[in-house]
Amino acid sequence: MSEVKKTGGLAGIVAGETKIATVGKEGVGLTYRGYTIEDLAANATFEEVAYLLIHGELPTQTQLDTYKKTLKALRGLPAPLKTVLEQVPKEAHPMDVLRTGCSALGTLEQETSGHDQVAIANRLLATSPSMLLYWFHFAKSGKRIETASNAPSIAAHFLEMLHGKPASDLHVRVMDVSLILYAEHEFNASTFTCRTIASTLADFYSAVTGGIGALRGPLHGGANEAAMELIEKFQTADEAEKALVQMLHDKKLIMGFGHRVYKKADPRSDIIKVWSKKLSDACGDNVLYPVSERVEAVMRREKGMFPNLDFYSASAYRFLGIPTPMFTPIFVISRISGWSAHIFEQRSNNRLIRPTAEYTGPQQRAVVPIGKR
């Protein structure tokens, strides 16, 4: 019998090959198709990054203009989907809304030769903000918003639908950078779920719906919500430090710190932290950002742990006026680009993903008749 490598959560196991991203490689950090996350966040838009992930190369200006025009034309929701969204309870978590919306859209606009995987990827990128915010406004006030708009980008479209008016250039840029940072991250739980489902030759919507379900958990996508719930408890940095030290003494889990792959730092964290600070300065904040910095300092001092992308994304989203339950759905809106790229890649050289397990249960035994048990 060959030796079985035992590892919790498949840590360190190479489960396949990809040309899409590198994560945590020594001296590299995070790259999308060879471009560093720092370079992309500084010099590209989310639409450029989505195009890169899906098509393999950054677009020319003509290609980008065409791509944005295509996405803009796909923002509207079909009437039957609106009816489905109106049936979702107002108490539902927004992640459940996106999971339901994606599945429902898959029944209305099924994958066919005339509606292929690229068309579906575009449609989901364009409609995910629309689905989320159509439900949000209907559940909140009974208002049926128009989801088709001329907003120039997905970031601008999201913020305009949320607040009912165009967002400032600063707010749009921060939202855009956030989408870039969340777009792709190699074989994480949700992406691997998408690839596993795709490997069965299931349709595109099934794979993405499964990805949304995997991202729903607080150990994957929900960490930014948990981070915000912690940060907003405190009114001063000193209060935060005192409480956090006690929480650590009580061995409570602090979300938004550390990473399964990165060992020294999350390269995305420093980027979103800069933008969170800009938003803090712009609105005259003297609580949220200082509390966040103190929490970071305490975690470094007491546990030697660094913030991951989720931690400062929480304060950035709050400065943008985004309700906490929408933090993880934003992750979905962005990650559809990376999921799509991985579904394409899996399909291009497919083999059913079917690992083996080491059995640790009882040895073979006989069934005792029920009257003698």
Q: Point out the residues that are catalytic.
A: 220, 259, 310
- Nearest in space to 278 (alpha carbons), one of 181, 184, 179, 177: 177
C-alpha–C-alpha distance, residues 307 and 305, integer Å: 7
- 3-state DSSP of 75-144: CCCCHHHHHHHHHCCCCCCHHHHHHHHHHHHHHHCCCECCECHHHHHHHHHHHHHHHHHHHHHHHHHCCC
The H-or-E segment that residue 251 falls in is none
In the sheet where 35-36 sits, what is the strand order?
A: 21-25, 29-32, 35-36
Residue with tokens 């691997």: 192
Secondary structure of residue 13 in the 3-state scheme: coil
Report strand pairing: 35-36 vs 21-25: unpaired
Chain centroid to Cα 366, Å, comes to: 48
Residue type, 87: Q
> Alpha carbon of 293 to those of 181, 287, 320: distances in Å?
20, 10, 18
Check: CB of residue 316 under 8 Å from CB of residue 279: yes
19: exposed, middle or buried (C-beta count within 10 Å: 0-12, 13-18, 19+)? exposed
DSSP state, 255? Answer: T
Task: Provide φ and ψ at 31, rounded to 5°.
Answer: -130, 150
Chain centroid to Cα 335, Å, comes to: 5
Both structure tokens of 154: 């997905």
Both structure tokens of 257: 């710190």
